[in-house]
Amino acid sequence: MLLLITLAVIVVAYANGANANFKGVASLFGSGTTSYRTAVNWAAVTTFAGCVAAMFMAVGLLKTFTGKGLVPEALIARPLFIFSVAAGAGLSGFLATWLGFPVSTTHMLTGALLGVGYIAGDVNVAKLWESFLQPLLVSPLLALAAGMLLYAVLKSLRLAPDHRTRTLDALHFLSAGAVSFARGLNDTPKMAALLLGVGWFHGSTGMILVAVAMAAGGLISTARVAETLSHKITGMNPGQGFAANLATAILVTTASVTSLPVSTTHVSVGALLGIGIITRQAKWRTVIPVLAAWVVTLPCAALLAALVFELGRRFA
Q: Tell me the pLDDT tens digit for each residue of 211-251.
A: 999 999 999 999 989 988 888 888 888 898 899 889 988 88
DSSP structure string for 248-312:
HHHHHHHHHHTT----HHHHHHHHHHHHHHHHT-B-HHHHHHHHHHHHHHHHHHHHHHHHHHHHH
Which residues are 234's β-sheet partners? 282
Q: Give the predicted TM-score (pTM) of the model.
A: 0.81
Confidence of residue 198 (pLDDT cuts 50, 70, 90): low
State the average pLDDT over residues 134-161.
85
Evaluate whether 83 touches 214 at the Cβ level (below 8 Å).
Answer: no
pLDDT at 62: 64
- In this predicted structure, the answer to whether residue 199 has a pLDDT above a threshold of 80 is no
pLDDT at 14: 94
Between vectors from CA 298 to CA 293 and to CA 299, what angle results, nearest 5°?
Answer: 100
Reported as a single tens digit per residue, the pLDDT across 85-109 is 889 999 998 888 888 888 888 788 8
- In this predicted structure, the answer to whether residue 114 has a pLDDT above a threshold of 70 is yes
Establish how many alpha carbons lie within 13 A of residue 3's alpha carbon, considering only the half-sphere containing its beta carbon.
Answer: 0
